[in-house]
A and B are shown apart, each in its own frame.
Chain A
Amino acid sequence: MDIFIAVFFLVLFAAAAVLFVFWKDRRLAAALAVRETEIKNQADKKIEEYKLSIEHGGEETSRRMYELAILKELGERIGYSLDIQNIVDIITGSLHQFIKYSAVSYILLGGEKLIFKVHLEKSVSRPFVDEVRDRMLKSLSALLDREFKKNQVEELLSGAIILEDMEVPVNSFFNIPLIIGEKVVGVLTVADSETGLYKEEEMTILYKITAQASQAVTRLQEVVEREQRKVNSMVESMTEGVIMTDQDYRILVVNPAAKRTLGLVEKNEITVFDIIDALDGKFDIRGKLEESVKLGKTLTAEDIVILDRFYQIFVAPVRSNTGIGGEEVLGGVVIFHDVTHEKELQRLREDFISMMVHELRSPLSNVMKVLELLGEGTLKPGDKDYGEMTQMVSANTRGMLELVNDLLDAAKLEAGKFEIHRQPANIKEIIQDKIRFYELAAKEAKLTLRSVLADNLPGGVSLDPIRIEQVLNNFLSNSLKFTKPGGTITVQAFPHTRGQNLDQEAGQAHVEWLLHGDDKSIQNLPNSLIIAVTDTGVGITEESLPQLFNKFKQFQSRTMRAEQKGTGLGLAIAKGIVEAHGGVVGVASEEGAGSTFYFTLPLQ
């Protein structure tokens, strides 16, 4: 694989891994700095506040200092976690240091279930826990305006044991909503069997703690989301198709390029089944993802054809890179790299080589062998085959010379070094010469070859006569090849005056062709000579029309090459010659009826 592509994908996989970390692990190196400053600032602010209160000499000073120490410890322990449950666990684990309770508990909104976690400082009865749970559910329902039921709860119990004979009711109860980024994510509760425990003091400290945690998490989430958006927009704008899945092969990301690749642009919610359907058995995405995750390495599939385009497909596992507890596979990523253009070039190269083999190597080896026959005395003047063999050698060498000339012309065109040598020439004479030249060949092919030339054709037109002859040779030899016996080939020429109706002018000159005046390529022509070769041949299919004058494009049409030996360079060279004269070249055709190849020469 190309080193550039390798590096590119390496970077991409790294980005994918980061993206996963944002989604799944919720630990983020980039956000650490922000969090750190925040804790420090808050602690500093509080220290200032409490310094003031110490100066006021209140009796609460020592208690407040204690609170502060706890808050600071909490802040440090929460650290850089984005896992809400983890944070709430830390809070509830430290709360007993300054609030008295039998049970501290929280309910968090999870996926389908609600997590209800209770830590008992003192033994209580089962009804006590149930009552706490029911009261929490009630307040959560009220907060979110949504009904929550007992059976949705997944209970986790820790701390002191439940004793059935401890039949004490919940006498003190304080409930505080857990809010992250202005959204209620759960409730935190302290409850005790003693009466009248929770006064303003305790409420304030609880509010402080939860508010601090909530604020920190909210900020951290903002940073994460910002980073996530950056990575998202990168993946979205990529020209490579990207699909990401989690470890259960559920689709997390399908970028627009991947949608285009799979023909799923119209679809909103894309599942793995849509993708499997779209791939139509050409690529086992599920199997490859599994294999890639299992082997822990990137798999590559070459030349997969999806919707008429060629793709190189990479499948790689995505691992967490947090460094905590080793590497964990988070899912997989599939990348579609479009190699259609490379494929086309490769095919063009192959076709070109194949053309060289047929048009150069094959005639050359035949020529070589005829020379061997002559050299060995196997073939002598006067032998039956002598004339035919020598004629073959001369035809083959002429063909090869033409090919070499064509290739040189094509190379000049390619390099932009194509030159023409203008001189005043009589187009009528050039055309009549050509007709005479091809007369015999036309007769042999049982074709009628004629010309229709307007009376008002100008003489002494500035052009390169050798090159213009080359264009006519090309058009005429094509027509001879593709017109069946009994057909007609007509060379036509007439002048066009700028702004005049081309159809009318053609009509006046008695020109019969397959071109229509509304053809875009011949609109807004300057004063020009129009020259056309019309045949009653097989015609050209509509889809191959636009490619006819493209360099080397004819190599691609293998069926055409079978009928018509040649390089397919002739028309491309003709185009180059006409354009060097400032004219346009084109073709109009009706399948089965014939073709008109035409070119224009601006009159100066």
Chain B
Amino acid sequence: MESIIKILIVDNDETFLKITNDWFREQGFAVMTARSGEEALTILDHHLADVVLMDVAMSPMSGIEVFEKIKANPKTSAIPVFMISNVGEAEYISRARDLGAAGYFVKSNFSLKDLSEKIDRILHMGQ
């Protein structure tokens, strides 16, 4: 039996955090949540995550900026990061892709099931 997968969810939308928290817990993940990019980086400093789910539209530090920091840190650079957003702007998507995001989801376009399937696939691919 493989160890429990640790997921870090970063979003300033409390409701979304709550929903995804409930969902991934039920799916057997160990869930950590952060309400801002700064909080996410602090958490990652102490607890390594196996996968990160991160909102793009946050302030003051945007999801993209946080992602860049995660990639720049050798300790965290290998963690697959999924970007999520309410907007499907092409420039964000291509930027996230260029930076090596594991995926980009527009919140209204995917179900929780899709999301966990995709995460499963990526994690098993790496093994």
Q: Which residues of A contact B (CB under 8 A)?
A: 354, 357-358, 361-362, 364-366, 368-370, 372-373, 376, 378-379, 385, 388-389, 392, 396
Contacts and interface: CB of A to CB of B under 8 A. Distances in A.
Contacts of B3: none
Contacts of A354: 87
Contacts of A357: 86-87
B86 A378 contact: no
B18 interface: yes
A366 B15 contact: yes
B113 interface: yes
A354 B111 CA distance: 22
Top 6 A-B pairs, shortest CB-CB distance: A365-B108, A365-B107, A378-B26, A369-B19, A366-B15, A362-B86
B13 A373 contact: no
A373 B16 CA distance: 12
B39 interface: no
A397 to B, nearest CB: 13
Contact of A358 (B19, B26, B86, B108): B86
Nearest to B110: A365
B23 A373 contact: yes
B117 interface: no
B59 to A, nearest CB: 8
Contacts of B120: none
A376 B23 CA distance: 9
Interface of B: 13, 15-16, 18-20, 22-23, 26, 86-87, 107-108, 111-113
30 contacts: A354-B87, A361-B107, A362-B13, A362-B107, A365-B86, A365-B107, A366-B16, A368-B108, A369-B16, A369-B19, A369-B20, A369-B23, A370-B19, A372-B112, A372-B113, A373-B22, A373-B23, A373-B112, A376-B112, A378-B22, A378-B23, A378-B26, A379-B22, A385-B18, A385-B22, A388-B18, A389-B18, A389-B19, A389-B22, A392-B18
A385 B14 CA distance: 13
A136 to B, nearest CB: 74
B19 A366 contact: yes
A369 B86 contact: no
Contacts of B111: 368-369, 372
A526 B111 CA distance: 59
A372 to B, nearest CB: 5
Given A369-B111, A372-B113, A388-B18, 6 more contacts: A358-B86, A362-B13, A365-B108, A366-B15, A376-B113, A389-B19
Contacts of B108: 361, 364-365, 368
